[in-house]
């Protein structure tokens, strides 16, 4: 959650020094994305409606890709939809620090129309893809005729600090050790207006924490199979849950119903990545989930 600094300061003053330090250690930098559908278009800069082939961070439009690009499809042949393009240099500039590998465009694809599954089974991995390109030499890709495309929407970025929701295991561990009041802690939430788009940081979960789920399902565990969830291997696999980081959070937008910009039951689409893979720019290892 994005928090209100003044509310955090008031809450912090009531904690012991050890508890405050333990909670502060959980803070993660993030970039809040704000769609901008009204500003005049300036070449190379945010403004909406966006240049569909602009070398900028935007929702929808045309993916800019390297020469060896092949449009991603589901296993049964449906072309995926471009959800967003992220210019990593632009994001790092918004953040004021390097949060993403430099010089890249990240093209986020998802099976946005069918949404047949929400990332809870190992075989779901073909329903999304994150395709990287060199931002200096990327070229527009031509979508297959049967592909569904979204209108390009320009965005601006705002650096914000985020903390875990009280339901996150990271917070629960601190609260259990230092006797932190989770209700009072929850009051630091900034109560952001929807839609809530975010790059990195802590997510806004709609149904509960996802790190353990990402770790298990990406390792071959079917989250919808009770027998699989109780297999002896699960305990060992779950130890890697803390490695997972939110990469991109895409909110539903009821004002864009004509574009079918809805995830599940007006929920959120999340792209997750292990911190090691983020550092190595291994965006082919991303896992996606829908909640809500």
Domains defined for the chain, CATH in brackets: 5-36+54-291 (2.30.320.10)
When pLDDT is averaged across residues 248-267 and rounded to a whole number, the result is 84
Least confident of 12-21, 130-139, 211-220, 254-263: 254-263
Mean of pLDDT over the chain? 91
Interval 89-117 mean pLDDT: 95
Band of pLDDT at residue 50, cut at 50, 70 and 90? low
Query: Across residues 220-229, what is the average pLDDT?
Result: 95
Is 68 a residue whose pLDDT tops 90?
Answer: yes
Tell me the mean pLDDT in the region 240-256.
Answer: 92
pTM of the model: 0.93
- Best-predicted range by mean pLDDT (152-166, 253-267, 276-290): 276-290
**The two structure tokens encoding residue 3:** 């928090």
As given in the structure block, the two tokens for residue 179 are: 């006797």
Q: Is the pLDDT of residue 259 over 80?
A: no
Res. 275: pLDDT tops 90: yes
pLDDT band at residue 93 under the 50/70/90 scheme: very high
**Rounded Cα–Cα distance for residues 105 and 107 (Å):** 6
Q: How high is the pLDDT of residue 236?
A: 93
**Tell me, what's the pLDDT at 254?**
75
List, for residues 119-142, the tens digit of each pLDDT value. 999 999 999 999 999 999 999 999
Neighbours of 164 (CB within 10 A): 22
């Amino acid at each position: 959650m994005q928090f209100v600094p003044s509310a955090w300061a008031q809450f912090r003053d009531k904690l012991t020094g050890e508890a405050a330090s333990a909670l502060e250690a959980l803070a993660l930098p993030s970039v809040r994305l704000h769609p901008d559908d009204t500003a005049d278009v300036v070449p190379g800069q945010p403004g909406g409606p966006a240049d569909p082939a602009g070398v900028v961070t935007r929702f929808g439009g045309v993916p800019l890709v390297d020469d060896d690009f092949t449009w991603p499809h589901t296993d049964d042949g449906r072309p995926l939809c471009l959800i967003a393009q992220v210019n990593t240099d632009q994001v790092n500039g918004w953040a004021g620090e390097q949060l993403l590998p430099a010089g890249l465009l990240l093209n986020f694809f998802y099976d946005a129309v069918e949404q047949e599954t929400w990332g809870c089974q190992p075989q779901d991995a073909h329903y999304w893809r994150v395709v990287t390109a060199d931002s200096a030499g990327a070229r527009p890709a031509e979508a297959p005729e049967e592909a569904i495309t979204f209108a390009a929407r320009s965005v601006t970025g705002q650096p914000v600090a985020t903390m875990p929701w009280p339901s996150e295991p990271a917070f629960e561990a601190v609260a259990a050790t230092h006797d932190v009041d989770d209700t009072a802690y929850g009051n630091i939430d900034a109560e952001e207006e929807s839609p809530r788009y975010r790059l990195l940081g802590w997510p806004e979960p709609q149904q509960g924490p996802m790190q353990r789920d990402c770790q298990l399902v990406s390792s071959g565990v079917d989250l919808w199979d009770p027998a699989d969830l109780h297999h002896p291997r699960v305990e060992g696999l779950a130890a890697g849950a803390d490695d997972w980081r939110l990469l991109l959070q895409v909110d539903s937008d009821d004002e864009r119903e004509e574009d079918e910009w809805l995830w599940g039951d007006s929920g959120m689409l999340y792209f997750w990545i292990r911190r090691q893979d983020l550092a190595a720019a291994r965006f082919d290892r991303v896992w996606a989930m829908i909640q809500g």
